[in-house]
């Protein structure tokens, strides 16, 4: 992360806030306002109550994610699938360089409160690293953490996460589960943590495939774990067995509050920061959050469709996980409908809406996607509705039941009618060369 920020500062591709900002609401408010105007990262150099600068929106665009992977053509999912063919190289564990890391405490980190009814400051970008108590397989996954004191963070573990099963296995033996929270690791680590793999596989192996080599690691100081060496901040601790305490409310990714509930307790054993470290603040539900969340789903949808149908180019989820957009090289009439039906079955929780577009449409821009639907065919015969299919609320709440699909593609025999107008050079303009 340090090297990325330095590069963006040099190129002018990051927005910099010099004035002091309050970590309670103001920081999140500025991030949100900035994301409404631009997908550029933002850096706060003066956050009240902490010596650490704060960066946000590091992953807020598909273009940047594609650049991290070397997908120059923008076909993110194709590039990801290609990288998965790389061999796994074991991590390289090295000792800390003298003076590169130093101890601090939780209250010295930025105490960011994001939403009006949040119960406390929260860690939102934290990636939890832990080893399976039975097999030793390491896991990387995102979980929110509620600041309580220098000694305690309360953690919400989702029922389906591998870390939840690790904790349950440790708790069966009345043992604590050692964990390290990574804030600001290399981007490939952040992307691997957001991606689904089988429980018996390691996200660190996935990182190796993404970087095409060995990941540099260092030993923790307080727990028996190794962490990615270039991580900005590492919080070491252990999830206590048979202890649950109130956590929340908190503003989650769909735009609503999750109410208070009894959740797990992480005992903090130590915090280390890299020299000149930067804290990563992530606004839940923001474009940055959505781009990371969609990694798990879009790569899964792409893998399924690409294995069963021809012409699958890329998959995205805009504006959030509930809407899947598939870009295809249309090869026959009815192709888009096959894609819609195929995508419905990939994930019964989140694939609520599917939109299929031609190769010339920007699948990351919902305005462009819906423009294609409205201009490339009739509105009354290109929609598929499947009623009464359960979504991820399975009980009396049925907000996410049902499925809807949109064929936004053009007719094959009329392609010349839908040639998009172009202004030569418009896509290459950098407004900073023109506007002061």
Are both 272 and 292 inside the same structural domain?
Answer: no
Domain range for 386 is: 288-410
**CA–CA separation, 32 vs 23, rounded Å?**
14
Strands in 42-44's sheet, in edge-to-edge order, are: 15-17, 42-44, 54-56, 279-280
Are both 101 and 212 inside the same structural domain?
Answer: yes
Residue burial 199-228, b: 16+ Cβ < 10 Å; e: rest: eeebbbbbbbbbbeeebebbebebbebbbb
Q: What is the pLDDT of residue 394?
A: 63
Q: Identify any residues that bridge with 152 across adjacent strands, giving them in sequence order.
A: 149, 267
User: DSSP string covering 266-315, please?
Assistant: EEEEEEEEETT--EE---TTSHHHHHHHHHHHHHHHHHHHHTTSS-EEEE
Find tokens 């010596």 and name the residue: 51
Q: What is the pLDDT of residues 373-428, one digit of tens each?
A: 999 999 999 999 999 988 876 667 788 899 999 999 999 999 999 999 999 998 88
Domain count along the chain: 3
Q: Is residue 349 part of a domain?
A: yes
Neighbours of 382 (CB within 10 A): 18
- For residue 62, give both structure tokens: 């598909």
Q: Is residue 427 part of a domain?
A: no
Q: What is the pLDDT of residue 393?
A: 67
Q: Is residue 146 part of a domain?
A: yes
**CA–CA separation, 83 vs 331, rounded Å?**
27
Q: What is the pLDDT of residue 410?
A: 97
Are both 267 and 329 inside the same structural domain?
Answer: no
Q: Which of 276, 307, 327 is the last residue of a domain?
A: 276
Are both 350 and 389 inside the same structural domain?
Answer: yes
- E strands present in 15-111: 15-17, 42-44, 54-56, 92-93, 101-104
CATH number, position 328: 3.40.1670.10
Q: Which of 38, 57, 76 is the last residue of a domain?
A: 57
- For residue 2, give both structure tokens: 């340090």
Are both 26 and 107 inside the same structural domain?
Answer: no
Are both 135 and 227 inside the same structural domain?
Answer: yes
Q: What is the pLDDT of residue 193?
A: 94
Are both 142 and 246 inside the same structural domain?
Answer: yes
Are the beta carbons of 391 and 352 closer than 8 angstroms? yes
- For residue 160, give both structure tokens: 């389906």
CATH number, position 154: 2.30.110.10
Neighbours of 78 (CB within 10 A): 17
Q: Is residue 255 part of a domain?
A: yes
Are both 313 and 381 inside the same structural domain?
Answer: yes
Q: Is residue 425 part of a domain?
A: no
Q: Is residue 359 part of a domain?
A: yes
For 127, the 3-state DSSP assignment is: strand
Q: Is residue 432 part of a domain?
A: no
Are both 129 and 266 inside the same structural domain?
Answer: yes
- For residue 356, give both structure tokens: 């299929």
Q: The dihedral of CA 100, 125, 293, 30: what is its sign?
A: negative
- pTM to 2 decimals? 0.91
Are both 247 and 293 inside the same structural domain?
Answer: no
Low-confidence ranges of the chain (pLDDT < 50): none
Are both 111 and 249 inside the same structural domain?
Answer: yes
Q: Is residue 406 part of a domain?
A: yes
Closest C-alpha to 285, from 258, 316, 246: 258
Q: Which of 15, 42, 57 is the last residue of a domain?
A: 57
Q: What percent of the chain has pLDDT over 70?
A: 99
Are both 48 and 109 inside the same structural domain?
Answer: no
């Amino acid at each position: 992360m340090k090297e990325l920020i330095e590069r963006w500062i040099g190129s002018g591709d990051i927005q910099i806030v010099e004035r002091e900002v309050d970590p309670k609401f103001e920081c999140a408010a500025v991030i949100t306002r900035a994301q409404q105007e631009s997908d550029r990262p933002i850096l706060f150099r003066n956050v009240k109550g902490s010596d650490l600068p704060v960066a946000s929106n590091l992953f807020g665009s598909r273009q940047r994610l594609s650049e991290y992977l070397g997908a120059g053509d923008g076909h993110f999912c194709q590039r990801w699938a290609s990288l998965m063919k790389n061999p796994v190289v074991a991590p390289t564990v090295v000792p800390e360089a003298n003076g590169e890391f130093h101890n601090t405490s939780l209250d010295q980190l930025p105490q960011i409160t994001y939403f009006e009814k949040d119960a406390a400051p929260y860690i939102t970008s934290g990636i939890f690293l832990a080893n399976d108590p039975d097999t030793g397989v390491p896991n990387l996954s995102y979980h929110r953490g509620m600041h309580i004191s220098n000694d305690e963070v309360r953690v919400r573990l989702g029922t389906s996460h591998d870390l939840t099963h690790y904790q349950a296995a440790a708790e069966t033996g009345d043992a604590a589960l050692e964990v390290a929270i990574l804030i600001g690791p290399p981007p490939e680590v952040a992307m691997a943590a957001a991606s689904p793999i089988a429980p018996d596989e390691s996200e660190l192996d996935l990182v190796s495939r993404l970087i095409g080599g060995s990941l540099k690691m260092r030993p923790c100081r307080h727990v028996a774990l190794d962490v990615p060496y270039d991580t900005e901040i590492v919080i070491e601790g252990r999830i206590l067995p048979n202890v649950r305490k109130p956590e929340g409310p908190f503003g989650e990714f769909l735009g609503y509050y999750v109410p208070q509930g009894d959740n797990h307790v992480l005992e903090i054993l130590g915090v280390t920061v890299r020299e000149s470290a930067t804290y990563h603040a992530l606004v839940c539900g923001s474009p940055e959050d959505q781009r990371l969340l969609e990694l798990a789903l879009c790569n899964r949808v792409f893998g399924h469709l690409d294995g069963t149908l021809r012409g699958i180019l890329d998959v995205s989820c805009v504006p959030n996980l509930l809407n899947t957009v598939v870009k295809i090289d249309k090869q026959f009439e009815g192709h888009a409908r096959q894609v819609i039906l195929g995508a419905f079955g990939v994930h019964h929780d989140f694939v609520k809406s599917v939109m299929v577009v031609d190769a010339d449409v920007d699948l990351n821009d919902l305005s462009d996607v819906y423009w294609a639907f409205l201009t490339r065919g009739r509105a009354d015969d290109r929609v598929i509705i499947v009623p009464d299919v359960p979504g991820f609320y399975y009980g009396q709440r049925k907000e996410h039941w049902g499925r809807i699909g949109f064929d936004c593609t053009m007719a094959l025999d009329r392609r010349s009618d839908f040639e998009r107008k172009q202004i030569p050079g418009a896509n290459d303009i950098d407004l900073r060369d023109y506007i002061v």
